[in-house]
Each structure stands twice: as C-alpha cells, then as structure tokens.
Amino acid sequence: MPSPSPSPRHSLDRSLSTSEPQVSPNIDDVLNRMRERLADTNINSVTLLATDYLNHFNEFVMLLDLVADSPDLQDMLSDWEPKSYITHFIDSGFSDKELAIEAYALAPPLYRDPFDATIQQLNLLISAIQGELKDLVGDSNPDRISTAVTTASQEIRRLVDIASAVTNGVATTSRQDEIDQMFNS
C-alpha cells in the first residue's frame, strides 16, 4: 500500500523548519549600508542630511533682499510657502533626491531632532515676517521696511547657519548659545 502523501500542513511545517531563519537587519548595518551609498554625494554621511534643503530658506532671504530695494515686490514674499524636507526633494532637481529622502528617514535623532526643531523655528519666523512686511507695505517710511527686512534677514540667516551646522555634524543642538560655545572652544 502506498504511503499517504503528506498533508499540505505537514509539508509546510517541514519547509519552515528547514529554511533559514529570517533575521531582521540590525539598525547599525542599515546605517552603515546607507553611509556607504552616500559616498560621493552632497548628503552628509554622518548626519544623513543634505544642506540642499536649506536653499529653500536662502531663496526667501534673497527675496527679502529684493524687497528691501523694491517694496513693490513684497507679493513674492507673501507667495513663498514652507516645504517639508521630503517635499523639497520631490520638487527639486537634486541629483540624489531619492537617496536624500531615504537617508532623512534614517537620520539619527541626535541630528534630526535639532534639525527639525530649527526648521520649525525658521518656518514660524518666516510666517511672522510675511505678516509684518504685509502690514508695512503701505508705510510711507521706507526706512521701516528696510530695517524690518535687515533684521529679518539676519535672524533667518542665523537659523539657516544653525541648521547647516547640524546638517554637517558640527552641532547637535539648535540652541544658539550652545552653538556659539562650540565655535568659541
């Protein structure tokens, strides 16, 4: 009499017991592979962040400088909108944009948290500046607009510098006093 064929359940059990165990990759291995992929790119291999994102904020600073000389261009400032890191790269012509998005998801909290906090500060500051300049457009005193633009531009540049320091692994904080202390050491 032929032996009964194994039941589907029995053969599944056997195949599971003889197959190699599934091992999830260790986060350090994932980070090391990502860092290898970042070689020869403009994405920092330590922080996994790209300074190209900061160009979005530098664009606003350039618009501010234009408005200082030509207040009638203020509408361009009002039209500027914040973009998330991911949206910036999706919309950009950055050659490694997919890699930048992938790396950002893996960025160590030591860098990503102060980076994201600084970006949030930038977005809030720019929103406040947009409102303030909109209120000043009809002002008959051009010095008030110029002063507001100069002050705003300096503050935005300061925050962009902080975000750049974090992106490049020079800082792990978004607190200006702590960053100043690092550079003065």
What does the alpha-carbon distance between residue 115 and residue 165 come to, in Å, rounded to a whole number?
9
Give SS3 for 88. helix
Query: Over the stretch 96-131, which tens digit does the pLDDT of each residue have?
Result: 999 999 999 999 999 999 999 999 999 999 999 998
Give SS3 for 22. coil
| Average pLDDT value over all residues in the chain | 82
Query: Over the stretch 140-169, which tens digit does the pLDDT of each residue have?
Result: 677 888 888 889 999 999 999 999 999 999
What does the alpha-carbon distance between residue 34 and residue 45 come to, in Å, rounded to a whole number?
8
Query: Over the stretch 4-47, which tens digit does the pLDDT of each residue have?
Result: 544 444 444 444 445 555 556 788 899 999 999 999 999 999 99
Q: Which two tokens stand for residue 142?
A: 């051009």
Q: 107, 47 in Cβ contact below 8 A?
A: yes
Q: In whole angstroms, what separates CA 153 from the centre of its chain? A: 20
Q: What is the mean pLDDT of residues 50-71?
A: 90
pTM: 0.78
Bigger pLDDT: 84 vs 134: 84
Nearest one of 64, 32, 179, 62 to 115, comparing CA atoms: 179
DSSP 146-184: HHHHHHHHHHHHHHHHHHHHHHTTS-S---HHHHHHHHH
Q: 136, 95 in Cβ contact below 8 A?
A: no
